[in-house]
Structure 1
Amino acid sequence: MTKAEEDPTQGLAAGARRRHERERRWYREGEPSMMRQVGQIGLLGWIVVAPTLLFLFVGRWLDHLAGTQIFFSAPLMMLGLAAGCWSAWRWMHRQ
């Protein structure tokens, strides 16, 4: 059992501390510029698209070698999409 599971107030206190720190940083740094927000949206898109395309190209190459149609391409593309979404989710939670 973790500390938060043993004492629910610990998780609440940690969340309150994180919120307070974010608020203090916002007061110190101010609102991010519009270009920074647009850049972050673009980066987030590429975090999802890049692994999807990479896995798709590998799948197409394997299909070419094996002489199959989309036997490798389709599952590898879905796997790349899942990896990209997971990476994007992790990146958003670090920001």
Structure 2
Amino acid sequence: MSESSPEQNGDSTKANFEPHQLHLHNQTEIEQRIAAQEMRKLKAKSEKHHTIWFGLGMFGLIGWSVTVPAVAGAIIGMWIDSRWPSRYSWSLMLLIGGICLGCFNAWKWLHKEGNIES
């Protein structure tokens, strides 16, 4: 067993690129990542409305955007059940529909407010 490297042994198992090229490629990628992180941080600092109160307000808004359609669906369903009894529970169906509608509204609002591309 030889302690010498493959280059010294004459092996042709060299990579297609030199080590310094790999280092430059990784360095460029790292620089781009750091620049993107810096831009996000600077943007976050420049937006003054993103305080703890903004977060609490958004939390409340999301809660109400789910609660209102769910409660409205349940109330309308109870009214339908009292007027026209059937073997299906309109209260339950409209409650679930209201929750789904509320979750969709909350998701849409978060994507709009958070500038999230999907």
- What is the TM-score when the length of structure 2 is the normalising length? 0.56
The structure whose residues are more often helix, as a share, is: 1
Letter in 1 for 2:109: W
Q: Highest relative contact order (Cα 8 Å, sep 6+), 1 or 2?
A: 1
Question: Are positions 1:80 and 2:92 aligned together?
Answer: no
Residue deviations 1:6-27, cap 9 Å, x none?
A: xxxxxxxxxxxxx998655423
Q: Percent identity?
A: 27
Match for residue 63 of structure 2? Answer: 45
Match for residue 9 of structure 1? Answer: none
Residue deviations 1:42-72, cap 9 Å, x none?
A: 0000000100011110000000101358611
Match for residue 66 of structure 1? Answer: 84
Question: Bigger radius of gyration, 1 or 2?
Answer: 2
Partner-residue secondary structure (3-state), 2:50: coil
Q: Aligned partners of 1:23, 1:70: CA distance in 2, in Å?
A: 53
Alpha carbons of 1:39 and 1:62: their partners in 2 closer, same or farther (altered >3 Å)?
Answer: same
Alpha carbons of 1:20 and 1:48: their partners in 2 closer, same or farther (altered >3 Å)?
Answer: farther
Q: Aligned partners of 1:94, 1:22: CA distance in 2, in Å?
A: 17
Question: Structure 2: which 5+ residue stretches go unaligned?
Answer: 1-36, 114-118
- TM-superposed deviation, 1:74: 0.5
Alpha carbons of 1:27 and 1:80: their partners in 2 closer, same or farther (altered >3 Å)?
Answer: same
- What is the TM-score when the length of structure 1 is the normalising length? 0.68
Letter in 2 for 1:64: S
Alpha carbons of 1:58 and 1:20: their partners in 2 closer, same or farther (altered >3 Å)?
Answer: farther
Q: How many residue pairs were aligned?
A: 77
Letter in 1 for 2:110: M
